[in-house]
Structures are given as structure tokens and as C-alpha cells.
Amino acid sequence: MQNQTNKLLEINIFQLHNLMAKKQASQDIIEDYRNTVHDVQAWMDQVCKSMEVLEKGSGLLCYQKLSTAGDIMRDFETNRYKLEQLKGKGAAVIDLVSNLETQQVEEQLKAIERRHGDVAKKIQRKSQILEMTKTGYDTAIEEIELARKWAKEKIRYVEKEGPLGFESKTVEEKLQDLKSLLKEAEGKEILLETLEKRVGAMQAELEPSEHSLLEGNLRSLATDHDELRALLRREMTKLAGAIEQRRKFEADVDKALAWIKTKDNEIKPSGWTPLNTGAIDKDLQAYKVCAFFYTTR
């Protein structure tokens, strides 16, 4: 009888130990799940914190921010296993708890998964904004440089104009060339206005040093174009005056040639009269009259 009692007691103690072990194992699984929830939340907090350097005022230039955003995204994708690991531990907990607690665990997992997706979208969206900003910044720098180069080349072209020549037609062609160039220069104003708007739109993402560089380049471009237009207008005024002078000169030449032609008809050479000095004196006086009228025109 004593032996049976001892045996039953041993069985009860064994079952109690098993029950306690199972209970402890369940508690360990639940505790591990809670710790993992904390770790995953802390990890996503750290990811969001690391994105602060991507905002304006961090001191990083646009290309540096874009590179950093790429690093953050790669690290985020590499650690995606943490979410999957948490979901697996959550499933183990659901097998151990009541229906009410199961619902709480499921809602908690869904909330964490939504947050994970939101963080991923935030990184992607910021990367896209930085990519567009960098592209816009680089393009603006290049377009401003090309526009300044064009303006400086045209200034040198106008300043190195050679002799005008004596014909009004040649000067008229040069004037028309400058008019076309002025029209082209004035058309560049649209480019300048477009660049100013684009630079203004990028200001929210650019560091002060980057924005200042663009603003300075734009001011230099505006100065170059103002100088070119002013130079063209001055040269056009000079050419217009030169055309009037040449037209007047050409008209005077035409009159002189016409006058010479009429006087040429009045001169009749008397032939060889070596012994007729009277005839020679008469011809000489006629030539002197013609010369006098020609030189006094």
C-alpha cells in the first residue's frame, strides 16, 4: 500500500514537473516574442532616425544624401528577415494563448507589418525625390554653363568684327546678322526664366551652399546676357550710322561719275598740233575747267 502511494506521488510529481516545464516553455516563447517585438520596433525606429541626415540642414550635399539613402535601403532590405522571424514567433505564441490574446497578437503583427511597409515606402519616396533633385541640380548646372559659354562666344564674335568695307550692302548684311543674333539672345530669356523657376522648386531639398551656387551662376548668366544684348544694340546703332554714311557716299560717287561723263562729252581732243599753240592752249583751258569742277564737288 505504501509502495502504491509512493508510486502515485512520483507520478504526480513528474506530471507537475512536466506541466511546469511546459508552462515555463510557453512563458519563454511568449517572452521571446515580446523581446523580438521590442527589437523590431527599435530597429525600425533606428532606420527612421538614420533618415534624418537625408533632410535639408544635415550638411550633406545632394549626391551624398542619395548615396546614403541607397545604403539605408540596402540595410533595410538585408534586415527584412527580422519581420519574418517575428511573424514566425507570433504564430508560435498564437498556438499557446486564448482566442482573445490570439486576436491581440494578430493585430500587433499586422500593425508592425504595416509600419514596416510604411518605412520602406518612406525610404523609396525620399530616394526618388533626391534622385530627381540631383538630376535637376546637375542639369541646371550644365545648362547654365552652356548658356554662359554661348553668351561669351557671341560677345567675342561681335567684338572681333573686322573692317566694315566701303559698300553699304556689306554693312547691311552685317547689321542683319546682328539683328538675328539679338533676337536669339532675347529668346534665351525664356531659358533664364525657366532655370530660375527650377532652381526655386529645388530649394526645399538643396543645402544652402548648393542653392547659393545655383543662384550665383544664374546671376552671372543674367549679367552675361545683359552685356551681350547691350553690346549688340550699340553695334547695331553704329552699323546703322555707317550704312547712312556709305549710302550718301555712294550717291555722291554716282553723281560725280554722271557729271564726269557729261563733261567728258564736252572735251574734244584737237589731235596733234605741235605748231598750233593756240589750239593747245584752248584744250588745256578746257581740261582745267573740268578739273576745277571735279575737285570742287
| pLDDT tens digits, one per residue of 48-63 | 999 999 998 898 999 9
Confidence of residue 245 (pLDDT cuts 50, 70, 90): confident
The pTM assigned to this predicted structure is: 0.71
Assess contact for 72 and 51: CB atoms under 8 A.
yes
Helices 99-159 + 2-50 axis angle, to 10? 20
Q: Would 286 be classed as within a structural domain?
A: no
Residue 65: give the domain boundaries. Answer: 2-127
Measured CA to CA, the distance from residue 265 to residue 8 in angstroms comes to: 161
Q: Would 256 be classed as within a structural domain?
A: no
**Which of 244 and 46 is assigned the larger pLDDT?**
46
pLDDT for 115 = 95
Phi, psi (rounded to 5 degrees) for 246: -70, -35
Q: Would 34 be classed as within a structural domain?
A: yes
Q: Would 109 be classed as within a structural domain?
A: yes
Sequence-separated (6 or more) residues with CB below 8 Å from residue 108? 37, 90
Q: How much is the mean pLDDT over the chain?
A: 83
Sequence-separated (6 or more) residues with CB below 8 Å from residue 195? 140, 143, 144, 218, 221
Q: Would 106 be classed as within a structural domain?
A: yes
Q: Would 159 be classed as within a structural domain?
A: no
Assess contact for 56 and 207: CB atoms under 8 A.
yes
- We report the CATH number of the domain holding residue 85 as 1.20.58.60
Q: Would 182 be classed as within a structural domain?
A: no
Measured CA to CA, the distance from residue 283 to residue 269 in angstroms comes to: 7
pLDDT single digits (tens) 18-52: 656 666 667 878 888 899 999 999 999 999 999 99
Sequence-separated (6 or more) residues with CB below 8 Å from residue 134? 62, 63, 66
What is the count of structural domains for the chain?
1
Q: Would 72 be classed as within a structural domain?
A: yes
Mean pLDDT throughout 133-144?
Answer: 94
